[in-house]
Amino acid sequence: MSDRTAKLAKVNFWNELLSLRDTQRELRKDAVQVVRSEELPQESNQMGLMRWYLHPAITDTVISSLVFFEQEIPPGSRTGRLKFQGGQVIYILEGRGHTLIDGVKHSWEGGDLLNLPLRKDGIIVQHLNDDPDKPAKFVAVEPNLWQCTSIDRGCGFELLQSSPDHKR
């Protein structure tokens, strides 16, 4: 019997599931049910200006199975350029612009829904605000695969270019 087998044999994994269930129930008992935008700070990061509603590091919400954020692109600006797995849905709240997906331009405006494809080798994406006078805003959601497949998700997670609006 290997050391790993012996170690695993000492654990009752059914009981571990029940214990995990009870821990999760206790944590969710007082968890945040309504996430209010006015309680969320706008973050300046390498991708631009973002407000996080659900994130793997935010642990006080009822669910953690999704990543959900709002992003604002100042007039005439752009987000950072990112290589990631894809599989994200973006709803344009206001403004007009375009998104480059692997170098292909996809125009959008307020009220549009943008589907970022899920690809085995990932995608390269960047969002640009085409209006020189008004900001563009969108919300994005994707499954929180980071918890089950790691941040790289098989294809890598690399910032290829920072947003010019990132304040260091």
Q: What CATH number is associated with residue 36? A: 2.60.120.10
* The model's pTM: 0.82
**Pairing mode of beta strands 88-94, 81-84:** unpaired
Query: Quick check: is 42 in a domain?
Result: yes
**Pairing mode of beta strands 104-109, 81-84:** unpaired
Residue 126: the pLDDT is 98
> Residues 98-115: pLDDT tens digits?
999 999 999 999 999 999
Counting the structural domains of the chain, the total is 1
CB within 8 A of 122, min separation 6: which ones?
A: 83, 84, 85, 86, 153, 155, 156
> Residues 66-95: pLDDT tens digits?
999 999 999 999 999 999 999 999 999 999
